[in-house]
A = this chain, B = another copy of it.
Amino acid sequence: MNRSMQRDAVLNELRSLRTHPTAEDIYNRLRPRMPKISIGTVYRNLEQLSAAGIIRKLELSDRLRRFDGDLSPHFHRRCCSCGAVSDIPSERLDALFGELAAAAARNGCSGYNVEFTGVCGDCRNNKKTQNEE
């Protein structure tokens, strides 16, 4: 995997965010600085970086592909109103990680994906309707 300005920019942008952005989110944030960057480049780099284990591709019940620069094990919550994805602090969730791993093993599975759902703070306040899911 070669080095390139674009790859560094994608990686740094992702790491600077806690929003679990899509390829297009990153594309839009990079454009002001790199007006010539192509959306395909962003997709390709996110794909390669996650294949290399440098970033994480999220497995959410979302038709949009989201990425995370934080490789530490943690759960996510998705807002069922606006679709925003945020981290769940993982204190006191060790038992849950264990139960899930055990359940997977017992059923011949090697892994699992969990996502918590609910209405996020923003949506609860601004009662305005947002992009439904």
- A residues engaging B (CB < 8 A)? 58-61, 63, 75, 77, 80, 88-89, 92-93, 95-96, 99-100, 103-104, 106-119
Number of identical monomers bound together in the oligomeric complex: 2
- A107: which B residues are within 8 A, CB to CB? 77, 88-89, 116
Q: Are B118 and A109 in contact (CB under 8 A)?
A: yes
Contact partner of A60 (CB less than 8 A), chosen from B61, B108, B118, is: B61
21 contacts between A and B (CB under 8 A): A58-B61, A60-B61, A61-B113, A63-B63, A80-B110, A88-B107, A88-B109, A92-B106, A96-B100, A99-B99, A100-B114, A104-B117, A104-B118, A107-B116, A109-B116, A110-B119, A111-B116, A111-B117, A112-B117, A113-B113, A113-B115
